């Protein structure tokens, strides 16, 4: 029995060292070497090196100079991800969507027409960093006017930031709002 106990303890120690130490260390090393940007949080930096966010997490953008992100069910708090958990017929959800539609119509000066759903509904995680090109297009005139540049100049920057479906078939076209707003702030953005 003592030999079985010693054998069991040795096995436990070896597996703890192997799977609790060596394996995570190897995976960390591979991630830091082959996928450094992703392993560091997919951070977005300005030309001066300051970090402005992550390409994976939405941010609240205020002011007419910026494209607005998708609404968040968690107030853009990355430590507390989650949707609103309200179904499509929930009265609170419907009221929130109606309020957002009215706010978008006012902010974008849209008397009528279809408003893309991703401008008025939160994503499942509450932190989706992307909008559809249609949701971005609704905001172009406001952003161009606030920056005092032609609408076509803003549209060119938007077009350069449209990401196609993954592998050409998975998902839809999308625009990362943080990357787009950082590009708009770049000193030479409108000189191309």
Question: Which residue reads 């027409």 in tokens?
Answer: 113
Beta-bridged to residue 44, according to DSSP, are 53
Q: Provide CB contacts within 8 A for 71, sequence distance 6+.
A: 100, 119, 120, 121, 122
Give the range of the structural domain holding residue 16, as residue numbers without chain letter.
1-40
Q: What is the pLDDT along the chain (192 residues), one digit of tens a residue?
A: 889 899 999 999 999 999 999 999 999 999 899 988 888 888 888 878 888 888 888 888 888 999 999 988 887 887 777 777 778 888 888 898 899 999 999 899 888 778 999 999 888 777 889 999 999 999 999 999 999 999 999 999 999 999 999 998 998 999 999 999 999 988 656 665
- On whether both 84 and 179 belong to a single domain, the answer is yes
Q: What is the pLDDT of residues 9-22, one digit of tens each?
A: 999 999 999 999 99
- On whether both 25 and 62 belong to a single domain, the answer is no
Residue 181: burial class (beta carbons within 10 Å; 0-12, 13-18, 19+): buried
**CA 134 to CA 117: how far, in whole Å?**
10
In a domain, 102, yes or no: yes
In a domain, 190, yes or no: no
The dihedral through the CA atoms of 32, 38, 43, 47 has a sign that is: positive
**CA 166 to CA 86: how far, in whole Å?**
29
């Amino acid at each position: 029995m003592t030999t079985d106990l010693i054998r069991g303890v040795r096995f436990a120690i070896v597996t703890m060292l192997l799977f609790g130490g060596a394996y995570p260390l190897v995976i960390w090393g591979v991630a830091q070497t082959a996928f450094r940007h992703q392993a560091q949080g997919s951070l977005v930096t300005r030309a001066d090196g300051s970090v402005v966010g992550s390409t994976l997490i939405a941010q609240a953008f205020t002011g007419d100079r910026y494209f607005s992100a998708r609404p968040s069910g968690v107030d853009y708090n990355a430590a507390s991800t989650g949707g609103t958990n309200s179904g499509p017929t929930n009265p609170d959800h419907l009221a929130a969507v109606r309020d957002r539609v009215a706010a978008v119509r006012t902010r974008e000066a849209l008397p009528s027409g279809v408003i893309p759903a991703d401008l008025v509904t939160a994503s499942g995680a509450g932190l989706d960093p992307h909008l559809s090109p249609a949701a971005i297009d609704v905001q172009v005139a406001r952003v161009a006017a606030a920056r005092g540049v032609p609408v076509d100049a803003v549209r060119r920057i938007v077009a350069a930031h449209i990401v196609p479906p993954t592998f050409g078939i998975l998902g839809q076209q999308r625009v990362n709002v943080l990357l787009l707003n950082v590009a708009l702030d770049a000193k030479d953005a409108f000189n191309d």
